[in-house]
Structure 1
Amino acid sequence: MKMGNQSVETDFILSGLFQYGQMNSFLFVAIIILFPVALMGNIILVLLIRLDTRLHTPMYFLLSQLSFIDMMYISTTVPKMTTNFLTSRKTIAFFGCEIQAFVFLALGGTEALLLGFMSYDRYVAICHPLHYPVLMNKKICWFMVTCAWASSSTNALIHTLYVFQLPFCRSRVVNHFFCEVPSLLPLVCQDTSQYEYTVILSGLVILLLPFMAILASYARVLTVVFQMSSGKGQTKAISTCSSHLIVASLFYVTALSTYTRPHSLHSPEQDKAVAVFYTIITPLLNPFIYSLRNKEVTGAMRRLLT
Structure 2
Amino acid sequence: MSTIIAVASGKGGVGKTLITASLAVALQRRGHTVLAVDADMGLRNLDLMFGMQDDVLFDIGDAVKGSCRPEEAIISIVEGLDFLAASQKHTWEKIDAPSYHYILETLSKEYDYTVIDCPPGRGRAFKDAAVIADRTFFVVEPTWSSMRDAARVMQYFNKHKRFNYDVLFNNFYGRDPGYVSVQEMLQLLSPETIAGILPHDPDIHAFAQKGTLIHAPASIPFFMAMEETMVYIETKESPHIDGLLTLLPEKETSLLGYSPELPQNNFQSDGIMKGLAAAELQKAAAILRGVSFPDKEETGEKTPIPPQISLRQRRQQSMSWRHYRR
Q: TM-score range by the shorter chain?
A: under 0.3
Larger radius of gyration: 1
Structure ranking higher in helix proportion: 1
Structure ranking higher in strand proportion: 2
The structure, 1 or 2, with the larger RCO (C-alpha pairs under 8 Å, 6+ apart) is 1
TM-score calculated relative to the size of structure 2: 0.24
TM-score calculated relative to the size of structure 1: 0.25
